[in-house]
Structure 1
Amino acid sequence: MPGHILPYRGVTPRIHPDAFIAETATIIGDVEIGPNASVWYGCVLRGDANKIRVGAGTNLQDGTIVHVNHDRSGDYRETGGGMPTLIGDNVTVGHQVLIHACTIESNAFVGMAAVVMDGAVVEGQAMVAAGALVTPGKRVAKGELWAGRPAKLMRTLTAEELAELPYLAEHYQETAASYMAERTG
Protein backbone atom coordinates (compact mmCIF):
# COMPACT_ATOMS: atom_id res chain seq x y z
CA MET A 1 0.00 0.00 0.00
CA PRO A 2 1.35 3.47 -0.83
CA GLY A 3 2.20 5.98 1.84
CA HIS A 4 4.06 5.42 5.06
CA ILE A 5 1.84 3.11 7.12
CA LEU A 6 3.48 2.57 10.49
CA PRO A 7 2.51 0.60 13.59
CA TYR A 8 2.85 2.14 17.03
CA ARG A 9 2.81 0.14 20.28
CA GLY A 10 1.57 -2.90 18.44
CA VAL A 11 -1.30 -1.15 16.66
CA THR A 12 -1.19 -0.94 12.88
CA PRO A 13 -3.47 1.41 10.91
CA ARG A 14 -6.49 -0.27 9.33
CA ILE A 15 -7.16 1.09 5.88
CA HIS A 16 -9.98 -0.06 3.65
CA PRO A 17 -8.64 -1.42 0.34
CA ASP A 18 -10.82 1.06 -1.59
CA ALA A 19 -9.26 4.08 0.18
CA PHE A 20 -6.69 6.18 -1.67
CA ILE A 21 -3.51 6.89 0.31
CA ALA A 22 -1.01 9.17 -1.45
CA GLU A 23 2.61 8.05 -1.60
CA THR A 24 3.80 10.82 0.73
CA ALA A 25 1.06 10.46 3.35
CA THR A 26 2.07 9.12 6.78
CA ILE A 27 -0.41 7.15 8.88
CA ILE A 28 0.66 5.91 12.31
CA GLY A 29 -0.91 3.75 15.00
CA ASP A 30 -4.58 3.51 15.92
CA VAL A 31 -6.08 4.89 12.72
CA GLU A 32 -8.99 3.51 10.72
CA ILE A 33 -9.81 4.80 7.25
CA GLY A 34 -13.08 3.85 5.55
CA PRO A 35 -13.92 2.91 1.97
CA ASN A 36 -13.57 5.50 -0.79
CA ALA A 37 -11.82 7.88 1.62
CA SER A 38 -8.72 9.70 0.41
CA VAL A 39 -5.62 10.90 2.25
CA TRP A 40 -3.63 13.18 -0.03
CA TYR A 41 0.00 14.20 -0.40
CA GLY A 42 1.88 15.28 2.70
CA CYS A 43 -0.88 14.40 5.18
CA VAL A 44 0.03 13.03 8.59
CA LEU A 45 -2.43 11.07 10.73
CA ARG A 46 -0.78 10.22 14.05
CA GLY A 47 -2.88 7.90 16.21
CA ASP A 48 -0.21 7.30 18.83
CA ALA A 49 -1.88 8.64 21.99
CA ASN A 50 -5.51 7.95 21.05
CA LYS A 51 -7.57 6.78 18.09
CA ILE A 52 -8.34 8.45 14.78
CA ARG A 53 -11.33 7.39 12.70
CA VAL A 54 -11.94 8.61 9.15
CA GLY A 55 -15.26 7.68 7.57
CA ALA A 56 -16.25 6.47 4.14
CA GLY A 57 -15.88 8.91 1.26
CA THR A 58 -14.04 11.53 3.34
CA ASN A 59 -11.15 13.44 1.81
CA LEU A 60 -8.18 14.86 3.72
CA GLN A 61 -6.45 17.16 1.28
CA ASP A 62 -2.74 17.84 0.88
CA GLY A 63 -0.77 18.82 3.97
CA THR A 64 -3.51 18.10 6.51
CA ILE A 65 -2.41 17.06 10.00
CA VAL A 66 -4.67 14.94 12.21
CA HIS A 67 -3.73 14.22 15.83
CA VAL A 68 -5.33 13.36 19.18
CA ASN A 69 -5.12 14.22 22.89
CA HIS A 70 -3.59 11.74 25.32
CA ASP A 71 -4.94 10.48 28.64
CA ARG A 72 -2.69 11.74 31.44
CA SER A 73 -3.69 8.82 33.68
CA GLY A 74 -2.47 6.09 31.34
CA ASP A 75 -2.99 4.28 28.06
CA TYR A 76 -6.32 5.31 26.49
CA ARG A 77 -6.90 1.71 25.42
CA GLU A 78 -7.10 0.77 29.10
CA THR A 79 -8.60 3.93 30.62
CA GLY A 80 -10.87 5.16 27.82
CA GLY A 81 -9.60 8.69 28.51
CA GLY A 82 -8.04 11.40 26.40
CA MET A 83 -9.68 12.65 23.23
CA PRO A 84 -9.79 10.81 19.93
CA THR A 85 -10.32 12.46 16.57
CA LEU A 86 -13.48 11.30 14.85
CA ILE A 87 -14.20 12.31 11.26
CA GLY A 88 -17.47 11.10 9.73
CA ASP A 89 -18.45 10.07 6.23
CA ASN A 90 -18.25 12.31 3.15
CA VAL A 91 -16.38 15.09 4.94
CA THR A 92 -14.28 17.49 2.87
CA VAL A 93 -11.15 18.78 4.62
CA GLY A 94 -9.20 21.40 2.65
CA HIS A 95 -5.46 21.72 2.14
CA GLN A 96 -3.20 22.27 5.17
CA VAL A 97 -5.89 21.87 7.84
CA LEU A 98 -4.96 21.02 11.44
CA ILE A 99 -7.47 18.73 13.14
CA HIS A 100 -6.74 17.97 16.81
CA ALA A 101 -8.77 15.77 19.19
CA CYS A 102 -12.16 16.85 17.87
CA THR A 103 -15.23 15.53 16.06
CA ILE A 104 -16.17 16.42 12.51
CA GLU A 105 -19.52 14.87 11.68
CA SER A 106 -20.59 13.35 8.37
CA ASN A 107 -21.14 15.75 5.44
CA ALA A 108 -19.28 18.67 7.06
CA PHE A 109 -16.73 20.95 5.37
CA VAL A 110 -13.49 22.38 6.79
CA GLY A 111 -11.78 24.98 4.58
CA MET A 112 -8.11 25.35 3.71
CA ALA A 113 -5.64 26.18 6.51
CA ALA A 114 -8.34 26.00 9.18
CA VAL A 115 -7.65 24.68 12.68
CA VAL A 116 -10.20 22.65 14.68
CA MET A 117 -9.05 22.11 18.27
CA ASP A 118 -9.63 19.77 21.21
CA GLY A 119 -13.21 18.91 22.05
CA ALA A 120 -14.69 21.01 19.24
CA VAL A 121 -17.53 19.59 17.16
CA VAL A 122 -18.31 20.49 13.56
CA GLU A 123 -21.79 19.14 12.92
CA GLY A 124 -22.93 17.61 9.65
CA GLN A 125 -23.78 20.16 6.96
CA ALA A 126 -21.76 22.83 8.75
CA MET A 127 -18.89 24.78 7.23
CA VAL A 128 -15.65 26.08 8.74
CA ALA A 129 -14.19 28.81 6.51
CA ALA A 130 -10.64 28.81 5.18
CA GLY A 131 -8.19 30.06 7.78
CA ALA A 132 -10.66 29.78 10.67
CA LEU A 133 -9.59 28.78 14.18
CA VAL A 134 -12.27 26.74 15.97
CA THR A 135 -11.16 26.94 19.60
CA PRO A 136 -11.47 24.10 22.15
CA GLY A 137 -14.97 22.95 22.97
CA LYS A 138 -16.82 25.05 20.39
CA ARG A 139 -19.71 23.59 18.41
CA VAL A 140 -20.30 24.61 14.80
CA ALA A 141 -23.97 23.76 14.29
CA LYS A 142 -25.62 22.26 11.22
CA GLY A 143 -26.22 24.87 8.53
CA GLU A 144 -23.77 27.40 10.01
CA LEU A 145 -20.68 29.07 8.54
CA TRP A 146 -17.99 29.92 11.07
CA ALA A 147 -14.99 32.09 10.18
CA GLY A 148 -12.25 34.14 11.82
CA ARG A 149 -9.50 33.66 14.39
CA PRO A 150 -11.02 32.75 16.76
CA ALA A 151 -13.92 31.46 14.69
CA LYS A 152 -17.44 32.65 15.34
CA LEU A 153 -20.78 32.30 13.65
CA MET A 154 -20.86 34.46 10.54
CA ARG A 155 -24.20 33.41 9.01
CA THR A 156 -26.32 30.47 8.00
CA LEU A 157 -25.42 28.61 4.84
CA THR A 158 -27.45 29.20 1.71
CA ALA A 159 -29.35 26.41 -0.01
CA GLU A 160 -26.75 26.55 -2.80
CA GLU A 161 -23.86 26.12 -0.34
CA LEU A 162 -25.57 23.18 1.35
CA ALA A 163 -26.16 21.57 -2.05
CA GLU A 164 -22.44 21.98 -2.86
CA LEU A 165 -21.25 19.92 0.11
CA PRO A 166 -22.09 16.46 -1.33
CA TYR A 167 -20.59 17.46 -4.69
CA LEU A 168 -17.22 18.30 -3.10
CA ALA A 169 -16.98 14.90 -1.40
CA GLU A 170 -18.06 13.10 -4.60
CA HIS A 171 -15.53 15.03 -6.68
CA TYR A 172 -12.68 13.90 -4.43
CA GLN A 173 -13.96 10.31 -4.48
CA GLU A 174 -13.85 10.39 -8.30
CA THR A 175 -10.40 11.99 -8.32
CA ALA A 176 -9.07 9.41 -5.87
CA ALA A 177 -10.49 6.60 -8.02
CA SER A 178 -8.67 7.98 -11.06
CA TYR A 179 -5.39 8.11 -9.11
CA MET A 180 -5.89 4.50 -8.00
CA ALA A 181 -6.59 3.46 -11.59
CA GLU A 182 -3.33 5.10 -12.70
CA ARG A 183 -1.44 2.99 -10.15
CA THR A 184 -2.86 -0.27 -11.42
CA GLY A 185 -2.32 0.76 -15.04
Structure 2
Amino acid sequence: MPLYALGDKRPTCHPTAWVAPSADLIADVQLGEAASVWFGAVVRADNTPIVIGARSNIQEGAMLHSDPGAPLRIGADCTIGHHAILHGCTVGD
Protein backbone atom coordinates (compact mmCIF):
# COMPACT_ATOMS: atom_id res chain seq x y z
CA MET A 1 0.00 0.00 0.00
CA PRO A 2 1.77 3.20 -1.15
CA LEU A 3 1.49 5.64 1.75
CA TYR A 4 3.76 8.68 1.68
CA ALA A 5 4.60 10.93 4.63
CA LEU A 6 5.52 14.59 4.19
CA GLY A 7 7.20 15.95 7.29
CA ASP A 8 5.07 14.89 10.24
CA LYS A 9 1.94 14.36 8.10
CA ARG A 10 1.21 10.78 7.13
CA PRO A 11 -1.86 8.88 5.91
CA THR A 12 -3.98 6.96 8.41
CA CYS A 13 -6.20 4.08 7.34
CA HIS A 14 -8.87 2.26 9.31
CA PRO A 15 -7.95 -1.46 9.61
CA THR A 16 -10.91 -2.40 7.37
CA ALA A 17 -10.03 0.11 4.62
CA TRP A 18 -8.43 -1.07 1.38
CA VAL A 19 -5.94 0.70 -0.91
CA ALA A 20 -4.92 -0.70 -4.30
CA PRO A 21 -1.19 -1.31 -4.79
CA SER A 22 -1.01 1.36 -7.54
CA ALA A 23 -2.95 4.07 -5.64
CA ASP A 24 -1.07 6.83 -3.80
CA LEU A 25 -2.05 8.36 -0.44
CA ILE A 26 0.12 11.36 0.43
CA ALA A 27 0.44 13.23 3.76
CA ASP A 28 -2.68 14.06 5.85
CA VAL A 29 -5.15 11.54 4.36
CA GLN A 30 -7.65 9.91 6.73
CA LEU A 31 -9.34 6.80 5.31
CA GLY A 32 -12.45 5.62 7.18
CA GLU A 33 -13.93 2.24 8.03
CA ALA A 34 -14.39 -0.06 5.00
CA ALA A 35 -13.44 2.79 2.61
CA SER A 36 -11.46 1.96 -0.51
CA VAL A 37 -9.10 3.68 -2.94
CA TRP A 38 -8.75 1.92 -6.28
CA PHE A 39 -6.02 1.47 -8.88
CA GLY A 40 -4.23 4.57 -10.12
CA ALA A 41 -6.02 7.01 -7.80
CA VAL A 42 -4.01 9.80 -6.15
CA VAL A 43 -5.10 11.37 -2.85
CA ARG A 44 -2.70 14.24 -2.07
CA ALA A 45 -3.18 16.06 1.24
CA ASP A 46 0.10 17.95 1.34
CA ASN A 47 -1.56 21.24 2.40
CA THR A 48 -4.69 20.44 4.43
CA PRO A 49 -6.47 17.21 5.44
CA ILE A 50 -8.42 14.95 3.14
CA VAL A 51 -10.99 12.86 5.02
CA ILE A 52 -12.67 9.92 3.28
CA GLY A 53 -15.68 8.63 5.20
CA ALA A 54 -16.80 5.12 6.06
CA ARG A 55 -17.71 2.83 3.16
CA SER A 56 -16.84 5.44 0.53
CA ASN A 57 -14.81 4.49 -2.51
CA ILE A 58 -12.44 6.41 -4.72
CA GLN A 59 -12.45 4.72 -8.10
CA GLU A 60 -9.72 4.14 -10.66
CA GLY A 61 -7.70 7.14 -11.78
CA ALA A 62 -9.40 9.72 -9.54
CA MET A 63 -7.35 12.72 -8.35
CA LEU A 64 -8.10 14.36 -4.97
CA HIS A 65 -6.20 17.40 -3.67
CA SER A 66 -6.64 20.00 -0.93
CA ASP A 67 -5.21 23.50 -0.49
CA PRO A 68 -4.69 25.84 2.47
CA GLY A 69 -8.15 26.99 3.52
CA ALA A 70 -9.76 24.40 1.23
CA PRO A 71 -9.74 20.95 2.85
CA LEU A 72 -11.40 18.05 1.07
CA ARG A 73 -14.01 15.89 2.79
CA ILE A 74 -15.83 12.88 1.38
CA GLY A 75 -18.72 11.81 3.61
CA ALA A 76 -19.86 8.26 4.36
CA ASP A 77 -21.22 5.98 1.63
CA CYS A 78 -20.02 8.10 -1.32
CA THR A 79 -18.63 7.02 -4.67
CA ILE A 80 -16.08 9.18 -6.48
CA GLY A 81 -16.16 7.98 -10.08
CA HIS A 82 -13.41 6.89 -12.44
CA HIS A 83 -10.98 9.70 -13.35
CA ALA A 84 -12.88 12.31 -11.32
CA ILE A 85 -10.94 15.38 -10.14
CA LEU A 86 -11.87 16.90 -6.77
CA HIS A 87 -10.08 19.93 -5.38
CA GLY A 88 -10.83 21.43 -1.96
CA CYS A 89 -14.51 20.49 -1.69
CA THR A 90 -17.05 18.55 0.38
CA VAL A 91 -19.08 15.65 -1.04
CA GLY A 92 -21.85 14.04 1.02
CA ASP A 93 -22.74 14.28 4.73
TM above 0.5, yes or no, is: yes
Work out the number of aligned pairs and report it.
Answer: 93
The structure showing larger relative contact order (alpha-carbon pairs under 8 Å, at least 6 residues apart) is 2
Separation in 1 of the partners of 2:38 and 2:7?
A: 25
Unaligned runs of at least 5 residues, structure 1 = 71-81, 107-185
CA distance in 1: counterparts of 2:67 and 2:3, whole angstroms: 21
- Give the TM-score taking structure 1 as reference length: 0.49
Q: Which residue of 1 aligns with 2:16?
A: 18
Structure with the higher strand share, 1 or 2: 2
- The 2-side partners of 1:97 and 1:11 are apart by 25
1:41 aligned residue (23, 29, 39): 39
TM-score calculated relative to the size of structure 2:
0.96
Amino acid at match of 1:91: C
How big is the alpha-carbon RMSD for the aligned residues of Structure 1 and Structure 2? 0.8
1:1-185 equivalent positions in 2, closer than 5 A: 2=1, 4-70=2-68, 82-106=69-93
Structure 1 Cα separation of the partners of residues 23 and 43 of structure 2: 8
Please give the per-residue CA displacement for 1:86-116, whole angstroms capped at 9, x wherever unaligned: 110000111000010000013xxxxxxxxxx
